[in-house]
Amino acid sequence: VQLQASGGGLVQAGGSLRLSCTATASGRTSSSYVMGWFRQAPGKEREFVAAIGRSGGSTYYADSVKGRFTISRDNAKNAVYLQMNSLKPEDTAVYYCAADRGIIQSSIRNSGEYDYWGQGTQVTVSS
């Protein structure tokens, strides 16, 4: 599956952005995949942000974004979204979408468990 992330940009603290990730899967629909968002700031390791189950019924968040970010998906459009509100300077990072077919719930926050990755989109939050 190929993933294409978009929607990043420069925003002031307290502002909002909506990231999108479109999946292209030969012979399969995106509903076959658990989808996740991760981020990596300069000099830091890639960290989990949010994930969503295949049907969209289950969502998972890092504590640092809970209550501010919302992950959703539209399987008809093979897309997953990350609505980011009340952005903070510490949210500045490159954001990556990821996908995996066989990941289990206990591993959903582990970047090493995802087989497919998008190219990343830069989010910069100014203070």
pLDDT of res. 32: 86
Q: pLDDT category, 39, cuts 50, 70, 90?
A: very high
| pLDDT band per the 50, 70, 90 thresholds, residue 27 | low
Give the integer Cα–Cα distance in Å for 66 and 69.
6
pLDDT for 42-101, tens place per residue?
Answer: 999 999 999 999 999 999 999 999 999 999 999 999 999 999 999 999 999 999 999 999
pLDDT for position 29: 72
**Alpha-carbon distances, residue 72 vs 26, 41, 88 (angstroms):** 22, 23, 21
